Amino acid sequence: KGFHCIFLDLPNHGESLSEEEFTIERSSEKIAEFINHIINNKGIEKVNIVALGIGSSIAIEILNENPNVINNLILSGLEIADYKEIESDSVANGLAKAQSEYLNEKSDIFITKAYLRYFGINKEHYNDIEKILDRSIRQERKIAYESLNYTIPESLKDNEEIIEKDNVLIIYGTKEDLDCTKSAIKLKSIMKNAKLMEIVKGNHLWNIIDHELFNTITSNFIRDNHIEDNSKINILE
């Protein structure tokens, strides 16, 4: 309440269909263009960005290339790699091989609903994500490769304006993949003035499962960088 919100489907996700192959760099450029369009046409100076999962990687790229357009930045479920794999030898390709050998014996509907159960999401939400089944295996593999192989730009690490930014909130769940925990801590070590928060018993989709908590955290932080401590969160500064 009290915010003008714009929800974006990332390029090659949901309704944002694209003939171009997905990359984090290309997606960040497109979204940065959209942000600049909003700023120029609405008479505002900056925007607040709330980014989840691979969207966090895209948001970091936007921050690196366009630091002056971002006010508050909230990231959850970030994954940062130590180095970028060769695509043909990547983990994403290994996962695709496993899918072809094992998962293809099951229907897409069965597999998707199994993932929903794994993440604690009610199966009634299946229709909300059904469109991902229209993506080709190649598209899925490329998105997975980009997600698992994102590295922090060296130019960001050398930019004092960015690394000293204090209106940044980095969130991870205690039941997320260990890479997400390590990635959150790694980014905090670079952006030392950022706030670091863990969601107790939160998995990768905690923001959907406990959307009221998510909305409270994001709105309070955007309004005045305030984080109200409670039993569901730990503030690690």
**pLDDT exceeding 70 applies to what percent of the chain?**
77
Query: pLDDT-derived band of residue 49, with 50, 70 and 90 as boundaries?
Result: very high
**Tens-digit pLDDT profile for residues 166-222:** 999 999 999 988 889 999 999 999 999 999 999 999 988 899 889 999 999 999 999
Is 10 inside a domain boundary?
Answer: no
pLDDT of residue 83: 79
Find out whether 78 and 57 touch, Cβ atoms under 8 Å: yes
Question: What's the number of CA atoms in the CB half-sphere (13 Å) around residue 68?
Answer: 3
Q: Which of 127, 145, 163 is the last residue of a domain?
A: 145
Q: Which of 145, 170, 187 is the last residue of a domain?
A: 145
Range of the domain at 223: 24-80+150-235
Least-confidence region, from 82-86, 160-164, 194-198: 82-86
pLDDT of residue 32: 96
Residues 101 and 122 in one domain: yes
Check whether 154 has a pLDDT greater than 70. Answer: yes
- As a whole number of angstroms, the distance between CA 30 and CA 61 comes to 11
Please report the beta strands in the chain, taking only residues with DSSP state E, as ranges in sequence order: 47-52, 70-76, 168-173, 195-199, 233-235
pLDDT of residue 134: 57
Residues 72 and 52 in one domain: yes
- As a whole number of angstroms, the distance between CA 13 and CA 8 comes to 9
Residues 63 and 36 in one domain: yes
pLDDT of residue 138: 67
Residues 75 and 92 in one domain: no
Residues 203 and 157 in one domain: yes
pTM of the model: 0.83
**Tens-digit pLDDT profile for residues 200-214:** 999 888 998 899 999
Residues 221 and 104 in one domain: no
Is 66 inside a domain boundary?
Answer: yes
Q: How far is CA 45 from CA 5, 42, 83, 219, in A?
A: 16, 9, 35, 19
Report the CATH number that the domain containing residue 43 is assigned in CATH. Answer: 3.40.50.1820
pLDDT of residue 3: 82
Residues 226 and 155 in one domain: yes
Residues 228 and 160 in one domain: yes
pLDDT of residue 140: 72
**Tens-digit pLDDT profile for residues 90-136:** 555 555 555 555 555 556 666 666 666 666 666 666 666 665 555 56
The total number of structural domains in the chain stands at 2
Tokens linked to 70: 């971002």
Residues 141 and 179 in one domain: no
Average pLDDT over residues 154-159: 96
Is 4 inside a domain boundary?
Answer: no
- Angle value at C-alpha 132, between 131 and 134, nearest 5 degrees: 75
Residue 121 phi, psi (nearest 5): -100, 135
Residues 198 and 101 in one domain: no
pLDDT of residue 133: 56
